[in-house]
Structure 1
Amino acid sequence: MKAAVMEDFNKPLVIHENFQDPDCGPNDVIVKVEANGVCRSDWHAWVGDWEWIGLKPELPHILGHEFAGIIEEVGKDVKRFKKGDRVVVPFSLGCGNCEHCQTGHQNVCENLIIFGFSCNGAYAQYARVPFADQNLVHLPDSIDFTTAASLGCRFMTSFHAVADQSGVQAGDFFTVYGAGGVGLAAIQIANALGARVIAVDIDDAKLEKAKELGAFATVNSRRDNPVEAVMEITKGGSDITLDALGIAETCRNAILSLRNRGVHVQVGLTTQEEGGMIALPTDLIVAKELQIRGSLGMQPHRYKDLLAMVESGKLHPEKLISKTISLEEASGVLESMSQYGTLGSVVINRF
Structure 2
Amino acid sequence: MRAAMYNGPGEIAVEEVPKPALDSPRGALIRVTHTAICGSDLWFYRGESDRETGSAVGHEPMGIVEETGTDVTSLKPGDRVFAPFVISCGRCEFCRRGLHTSCTNGGSWGGENGGGQGEYVRVPEADGTLVRVPDRYANDEETLKSILPLTDVMGTGHHAAVNAGVGEGDTCVVVGDGAVGLCGVLAARRLGAKQIVAMGHHEDRLSLAAEFGATETVAERGEAGVKRARELTGGGTDHVLECVGAASAMETAIDICRPGGTVGYVGVPHGVEEAGLDVFSLFSDNISLCGGVAPVRAYADDLLADVLDGTLDPSPIFTKTVDLDGVSEGYRAMDEREEIKVLVRIDDHSE
TM-score of the superposed pair, with normalisation by structure 2: 0.89
Question: Is this contact kept in 1: 2:154–2:183, CA < 8 A?
Answer: yes
**Residues 173 and 197 of structure 1 are in contact (CA less than 8 Å); yes or no, is this contact kept in structure 2?**
yes
SS in 2 for 1:184: helix
Please state how far the C-alpha of 1:48 moved relative to its aligned partner. 4.3
Name the structure 2 match of 1:40.
39
2:299 pairs with 1:319: no
Letter in 1 for 2:5: V
The equivalent of 1:172 in structure 2 is 170
- With over 3 angstroms needed to count, the CA separation of the structure-2 counterparts of 1:277 and 1:145, relative to structure 1, is farther
- Write the distance in 2 (CA, Å) between the matches of 1:126 and 1:44: 24
Structure 2: how far apart are the matches of 1:281 and 1:223?
A: 16
The separation in 2 between residues aligned to 1:42 and 1:268, in whole angstroms, is 12
Post-superposition CA distance 1:93-147 (Å, at most 9, x none): 2245643134332222245412247954121111111211111111133363333
Q: Secondary structure at the match of 1:226?
A: helix
Task: Report the equivalent of 1:139.
Answer: 133
**CA positional deviation for 1:5:** 2.0
2:345 paired with 1:349: yes
Mark the runs of 5 or more structure 1 residues left unpaired by the alignment. Answer: none
Deviation at 1:299, TM superposition (A): 4.9
After superposition, residues 80-119 of structure 1 pair within 5 angstroms as: 80-96=74-90, 98-116=92-110
1:193 aligns with 2:191: yes
For structure 2, the 5+ residue unaligned runs are none
Match of 2:257 in 1: 258
Question: Deviations along 1:1-53, whole A, 9 cap, x unmatched?
Answer: 122222x221332222x4211111222111111110111122223334444xx
How far apart in 2 are the matches of 1:194 and 1:234?
16
The percent identity for this pair of structures is 31
Determine the structure 2 residue equivalent to 1:207.
206
Change in CA separation of 1:276 and 1:285 when aligned onto 2, cut-off 3 Å: closer
Q: Deviations over 1:288-330 (max 9, x none)?
A: 2111012322253432211121122221122222121111221
CA separation in 1, counterparts of 2:274 and 2:189?
31
Counterpart code for 1:146: K
Is this contact kept in 2: 1:34–1:145, CA < 8 A? Answer: no
Amino acid at match of 2:170: D
Deviation for aligned residue 1:350: 3.6
2:56–2:110 CA contact under 8 A, matched in 1? yes
Question: What SS does the aligned partner of 1:307 have?
Answer: helix
Counting only pairs closer than 5 Å after superposition, residues 263-282 of structure 1 correspond to structure 2 as 263-271=262-270, 274=271, 278-282=275-279
Q: Residues 172 and 275 from structure 1, CA distance in 2 versus in 1: closer, same or farther, beyond 3 angstroms?
A: closer
> Matches of 1:147 and 1:136 in 2, distance apart?
17
Q: Is the 8 A contact 2:222 2:252 kept in 1?
A: no
Question: Shift of the alpha carbon at 1:191?
Answer: 1.5
Moved over 6 A (4+): none
Helix, strand or coil for the counterpart of 1:225?
helix
TM-score, scaled relative to structure 1: 0.89
CA–CA separation in structure 2 for the residues paired with 1:117 and 1:267: 25
Equivalent position amino acid for 1:280 in 2: L
Deviations 1:181-228 (A, max 9, x none): 111111112112221111111111111111111111111134971111
Residue 3 (structure 2) aligns with: 3
Q: For the residues of structure 2 that align with 1:167 and 1:278, how far apart are their CA atoms?
A: 27
Contact 1:159 1:306 (8 Å CA) reproduced: no
Is the 8 Å Cα contact of residues 91 and 297 (structure 1) preserved in structure 2?
Answer: no
- d(CA) in 1 for partners of 2:274, 2:113: 26
Distance 1:332 1:30 in 2: 28
Distance 1:107 1:152 in 2: 13
Query: Which amino acid letter does the alignment assign opposite residue 313 of structure 2?
Result: H
1:323-343 per-position Cα deviation (integer Å, ceiling 9, x unaligned): 211112211221233333322
Q: Distance in 1 between matches of 2:82 and 2:209?
A: 26
Q: Secondary structure at the match of 2:301?
A: helix
| Aligned match of 1:240 | 239
- Report the Cα distance in structure 2 between the residues aligned to 1:299 and 1:184, rounded to whole angstroms: 16
Q: Please name the residue that 1:59 is paired with.
A: 53
Q: Tell me the alpha carbon deviations over residues 71-100 of structure 1, each in whole angstroms, 9 at most, x when there is no partner.
A: 011122222211011111011222456431
